[in-house]
Each structure stands twice: as structure tokens, then as C-alpha cells.
Amino acid sequence: MSYLKEYVCSDRFITDGGEVFNLTVLDANGTRRVFTSEQFSLKEISNGKFVFRNPDVFDGRIVIFKSSEEGGLSFKLSVDNNTDCVIESVKFPILRIPCKLKGDGGNDTIFWPALEGTLVERANDNEYYSNAIERFGGGYTGLAPAGVSMQFMAIYSDKNGLYFGTHDKDCNFKDFEYYFENSDTVRFECTHFVGGCKSYLMPYPVVLKDFRGDWQDAAEIYREWLYTSGMSLPEKLADRKDLPQWLYDSPVFMIYPVRGRTDKDCDKDMAENCYYPYSNILPVADKYSKSFDSRVMALMMHWEGSAPWSNPYVWPPHGDLGDFERTVKELHKNNNLIGLYASGIGITTKSVKDSSYDITDRYIGENWSEATCRDSEGEEIKVTELSFVRSGYEVCPYCEKTVDVTVKETLKVANADVDYFQAFDQNIGGMAHFCWSKEHGHPAAPGRWITDSMISLLEKIRSGIDNIGKNMLIGCELAACEPLMKYLICNDLRWFITLRQGRPVPAYSYVYHQYVCNFMGNQNELEKTTDFDAAPDNLLYRTAYSFLAGDILSITLGEGGRINWGWNAPFCDDFPESEHLTSFIKSANRWRKSFAKKYLFFGKLLKTEPANCAESVAFVTKQGHNISDRVILNRRFIADDGTVAEFFVNRTFNEQELRLGAGKGKLYTTPEKCQSVPYFIKLKAGEICCIVDI
């Protein structure tokens, strides 16, 4: 079956009377009304134009425009609105696609663009579906630009696939979501947030195309459009002159708290741990720098002088400022680096982690309520999804107070010679939360103005850092979204959270690798999804996955300098086997700094077929699902000089055989040693090899 020909080209999804769009409007009080296409009559069909009216329901009309697109079709929608309401959003198109997913005994797979790339293989795993409005634009949803950059979804089988994307070079807000109406039908939908306009004409097309292949082929459609779209992408990393040298050195990010043991700790359990005073990290940093033969970035959590994860007033650091300053100097003296986590834009009034922290009076005295985000009815938006950490409010990036405080606090960190500031944790993809305020001066509904406000804020931060003679890099939680990549070059990836819904794929790297250099992330929430003991080599698997995505590697620390499974895993016991991991990271960074840098750091990812080798279990989820993969992972890159390299990693603890087929090119068994390509090769645990086509 061709999804496009059988379902879309026939116009059945428009004409069969089912829901093909819905329209959400706000009245003067901010009350929502939702109109669905089922409430309208299809009054006119002519030359790819479909006109919907029902004056008894809505004073106006909705028009769908269909046109041909190379290899497919494109659609736009307009709303003529004669009511007193403004338009908050338009959901279009809504496709109901027959499917049977692989994990349910069928042949289909869904690609969802959130969390740097998610493959959905079971219908009943979709327990996390939610739309962006429910979370005020925060959280792990399909919102672009925010937690999503790639503006497309896809469904495919071994016979064909359907690409569902928006080709919008201006990156207007939209939410890509899927959910299952039943085990045999999936609903694809895209919600467009239009900024509270009176009438609306979609300024970009929704594009539907047939394709053959897998998620990489769908990503190729998007990437081909992106590179010719005129979107304001940053310069390629290879061409940038404004970035610090340490980024190009691929330091290993070493992530740890200085208070408490996990984010579950509060009050007495949030006491200073083995990494306080701050200088306690120095021998650990030296140890891993030697073990990895690499610079390390000591990246701290729970360091804030306010309370853990309590923004915006985070400076000075908790406790002994003098020891902090001496630690920074010693790290730099030993050619290592210092980084800090923070919690983005917002105002914490009370901490749950440290109940002695309460600045409610300051919140009132400084009139912070003038800058807080408001919902459609004018109520302040409380901190979303973090009630176990703090109470407080989201703040609006359009407001002068938000900008002024955020810039000043960031410059305090930069002045302390911090190298990296993951300042925008909780601002997923670097984006702010939604705001509907009628008092701030921006449109009274979410729209492009939020992106423009964040760009302005980040430009002020960058300018301020430059003006004080520093070159601190800023990052965010998840990979940076398209319009913010220029400012957020190195970010805390969360692809592993994909295990809640399916399996991860490096789609973000596939599309954007030449423009950004992210790091592996703190592995938060893996403890909720993964049975570590059931697949004890899964940490090596995750690290190999990140290496092959072209990302900087990271470790998280438990008690006594031990490498842990991830942040929020048990801090004191049940540590993973780390000998193979340490050896692998040392080897991986040796490759990243060798001739292979032009591929692994600067190259573009290419479609890659799975390695010719055995399979084994890579993850066992706490829902009891075994996620298998090849025992040897691989990825192809093309460099700017046109040469292609394919890298292979044994991601298990045991020696594995890789069948190569004696092809052309050169096989590198180390960055310095090469030979002709043999028919097969055996790789030890964590061992890397590379074939370069000459």
C-alpha cells in the first residue's frame, strides 16, 4: 500500500467527513472554543481548493489548499474569521493512518522527532502522549522549536513510508504528535500556534511524500529541503572562529553533585557530599584525565548558592567561594575545565530540596509577578512538572526584568572563569514557556514572538560575555532547536529518555551534526526505564551510541569517584563495570582527535546499513521489553573533502566478529595503523575500527 496514493491523493482524509482540522479560538476573557471540521460542511471543491463553512457554528470559513510537491503533495490552510475571537492554534492536517507496529506483530515503525529521534514500535508504549498546551510549551513534547528541531514525522514499513513534515524556514511554533485511536490506526497531527491573529493564512506548506527506506530516508528529505531553504542556520563548526579551543579538544564531561546524592534528596539528605569542598574533585579530575588521555570538564550540579535547581539567583556558589575559585584555577592549571548546571529562566519562591530557601517576600517586593508567564485567562503559570524540586513561576522572555536578571546572573558565572554553563536546563531545546499575557506588550497567545525574544536574550548574553573578555559557552537541556543553534552550540542530550516510548536513533545528528557539538548528557531518568543488571553492558552501549552520533562523551560520578550508570542512579552501590568503558572512552577520544576528526567532529552523517554481525539485547526496560541491536554498532560520515568513513564499535563486553566482505578502501584498526579491508575482523570489547574509502 502507498500511504500517499491510497490515503492522501484520493482526498479521502479531507472528504470522508472525519476530523481533518480543528480550530482553537480565544474570546476576550481568554476562554477557549474549539471547532472541528466535523462541525462544518464542505461547500466547495475546485482545483485543489476545499472550502468549509457553517455560519450557525462559526462566522467565517476555513479553506484547505492542495498542490503538487516533487514526489508528493503539499497543503496549506487559511481561516477567515469574522468573530470577535482571536485564533490561538490550528491543528492541521489530522491523518488517520492504518498501521500495525513491529512490536505488535506488524511491519510498521513510527519516527517521532522528539528527544533527538524516537522510533515507536509498540502502540501501547505511547503512555506519554500530551500536547504542548497541556504543559504550557514545556516538557518532552513534540513542540518545535523547543524539544524538537526536525519538523517532520514518518511512518514506514519494509515496503514504503510516508513523510509528514512542515517546510518552514522561519520556524514558527508547531506541535508534532501521534497517538493511537486503536492498535490498528495511528493519528498524525500538527498543531500550528499562530500568535493570536484575527485571520490566518499558513505561510509554509505541510508536505506529504512517499518514500522507501527507514527514518534516515525520511531525514534525508528534510535535510535536502533544509540546506536549500534559506533558514538562518549557524556557520559550520569547521568555519567558526568564535568558539573556544576546548570544544574542539573533545573533553570528557564528568558530571556530579556537590550536595545530596540524587534529585530525590531533601533537607538533611541534601547535605554536602564527598565532592565538597569543591577542591575534592581535583584528584578525581586528574585521575580521569590520565585514564582517558583527555581533558575533562568537571560539570557540577547542586552547587547553587540559593538551593539546588533554584533559579534565577544562583550566584555565588554554595559554601566556600574561596575554595570554588581555587578549584577553578587548579582545574585550568591542569588543562581541565569547569562547568555548571542551572535551571533556565524562572523564579523559584520556595525550594523543596532545601526548605530553608524561601524568597516569597523578595518575589513580592521586586514585583516579579509583572514578568511571570500567564495562561489564557490571565493566571500566573506555576513551575511545570517540577513540584518535587521547587515552587515558583515560569517567566516571560519578552519582559525586561527576565532579560535583565538572566543576563546579570549569567555574567557573574562567566566572570568566575567558568568554561561551560548549562544555563537553560528546563528550557527544553533552549525555548521559553508559553505566555498569553495581555499586559507584557507581546501578542496575547503563543507564537513566533517567543522565539524572537529568546534570540534577543541569547544575543544579549553573548554580547555581555564578549564585553567582559570571556568565552564561556552556554547550553540547554536537549539539543538546541533550529533558531537557537547559533547560540547554544554544546548541549545536554536526552536521547535515552526515548526508552519511555521506543528506541533512540541519532536523527538530530543526522540532520545538524556539522553545525553543533553536543555532549552525551547526564543520563537522567534512565533509572526509571532501564533494568541495569539485566543488560550490564548497556552503559558501554550508550557511550558507543554517542560516539557514533559524533557527540562529546560524558560520565556521571557516584560515591568516591566511581563511574555511575547515570544521574539519579544509586549513588553508593551497584556501580557498573567500568574497565571496558574507561578503555573505550580513551580510545574514542583518540579517534576524535586524529585524522578522523574531519568525520566525527566536522562531518555529515550518511545513511548507514546495520553492521554484518550478530545481535544481542542492548536494553531491558522496566516494562519488560528487550531492545536488541547489533553487537557491533556502525555509522558512516562524509567529510568536506568528499571522503567517506564508516566507524564500527563493539558495544559488548565480549569479542565479536564483524563481516566486512573484503571491499575497497582502507581498514584502520587504530588512527595510525591501516591495511586492506579483510573479509572479516574480530573486535574486542569496546574496540573501534574504521573503513575509509579512498
For residues 631 and 620, what is the distance between their CA atoms, to the nearest angstrom?
Answer: 15
The x, y and z cell numbers of residue 314, run together, are 544562583
Residue range 395-432, pLDDT digits in tens = 999 999 999 999 999 999 999 999 999 999 999 999 99
Q: What pLDDT shows up at residue 525?
A: 85
Which whole number is the average pLDDT over 548-567? 97
- The CATH number of whichever domain residue 144 belongs to comes to 2.70.98
Q: Is residue 470 a part of any domain in this protein?
A: no
Which whole number is the average pLDDT over 347-372? 97
How many domains does the chain divide into?
Answer: 2
For residues 490 and 274, what is the distance between their CA atoms, to the nearest angstrom?
Answer: 28
* Residue 690 in this model has a pLDDT that exceeds 80: yes
Q: Between the CA of residue 600 and those of 194, 552, 591, what are the distances in Å?
A: 39, 10, 8
* Residue 657 in this model has a pLDDT that exceeds 90: yes
Does residue 87 contact residue 130 with C-beta atoms inside 8 Å? no
Residue range 111-153, pLDDT digits in tens = 999 999 999 998 876 555 567 888 899 988 999 999 999 999 9
Q: What pLDDT shows up at residue 688?
A: 98
Total residues belonging to the chain = 694
Q: What pLDDT shows up at residue 132?
A: 85
Q: Between the CA of residue 144 and those of 226, 345, 451, what are the distances in Å?
A: 15, 19, 10
Q: What pLDDT shows up at residue 264?
A: 93
**Adjacency order of strands within the sheet including 86-98:** 32-36, 22-26, 86-98, 185-197, 174-182, 143-144
Tell me the whole-structure pTM to 2 decimals.
0.96
Domain boundary among 208, 226, 244: 226
The x, y and z cell numbers of residue 685, run together, are 570489547
* Residue 9 in this model has a pLDDT that exceeds 80: no
DSSP readout, 88-132?
Answer: EEEEEEEEEEE--BGGGTSSBEEEE-STT-EEE--GGG-TT---G
Q: How, if at all, do strands 86-98 and 72-81 pair?
A: unpaired
Q: Is residue 308 a part of any domain in this protein?
A: no
Does residue 477 contact residue 427 with C-beta atoms inside 8 Å? yes
Q: What pLDDT shows up at residue 354?
A: 97
pLDDT confidence band for 215 (50 / 70 / 90): very high
Q: What pLDDT shows up at residue 176?
A: 96
Q: What pLDDT shows up at residue 125?
A: 64
Q: Is residue 647 a part of any domain in this protein?
A: yes
- The CATH number of whichever domain residue 613 belongs to comes to 2.60.40
Q: Between the CA of residue 608 and those of 227, 298, 401, 510, what are the distances in Å?
A: 20, 34, 48, 11
- In sequence order, the 6+-apart residues with CB closer than 8 A to the CB of 108 are 99, 100, 101, 102, 155, 156, 157
* Residue 540 in this model has a pLDDT that exceeds 80: yes
Which whole number is the average pLDDT over 292-300? 98
Q: Is residue 306 a part of any domain in this protein?
A: no
Q: What pLDDT shows up at residue 129?
A: 57
Output the average pLDDT for the chain.
94
Percent of the chain's residues with pLDDT above 90: 85
* Residue 364 in this model has a pLDDT that exceeds 90: yes
Q: Is residue 366 a part of any domain in this protein?
A: no
pLDDT confidence band for 574 (50 / 70 / 90): confident
Give residue 113's domain range.
3-226
* Residue 64 in this model has a pLDDT that exceeds 70: yes
Q: Is residue 182 a part of any domain in this protein?
A: yes
Q: Is residue 128 a part of any domain in this protein?
A: yes
Helix H, strand E, coil C: the string for 293-306 is CCCEEEEEECCECC
Domain boundary among 172, 191, 226: 226
Domain boundary among 175, 207, 226: 226
Whole-number CA gyration radius for the chain: 25
Nearest to 243 by CA among 412, 547, 604, 485: 485
Residue range 451-507, pLDDT digits in tens = 999 999 999 999 999 999 999 999 999 999 999 999 999 999 998 888 888 899 999
Residue range 594-643, pLDDT digits in tens = 999 999 999 999 999 999 999 999 999 888 888 999 999 999 999 999 99
Q: What pLDDT shows up at residue 69?
A: 82
Q: What pLDDT shows up at residue 2?
A: 64
Q: Between the CA of residue 326 and those of 137, 482, 656, what are the distances in Å?
A: 40, 38, 46
Q: What pLDDT shows up at residue 139?
A: 87
Nearest to 592 by CA among 683, 520, 642, 521: 520
Q: What pLDDT shows up at residue 131?
A: 75
Which whole number is the average pLDDT over 373-383? 95
Q: What pLDDT shows up at residue 3?
A: 62
Q: Is residue 389 a part of any domain in this protein?
A: no
For residues 348 and 407, what is the distance between their CA atoms, to the nearest angstrom?
Answer: 17
Nearest to 262 by CA among 574, 520, 536, 566: 566
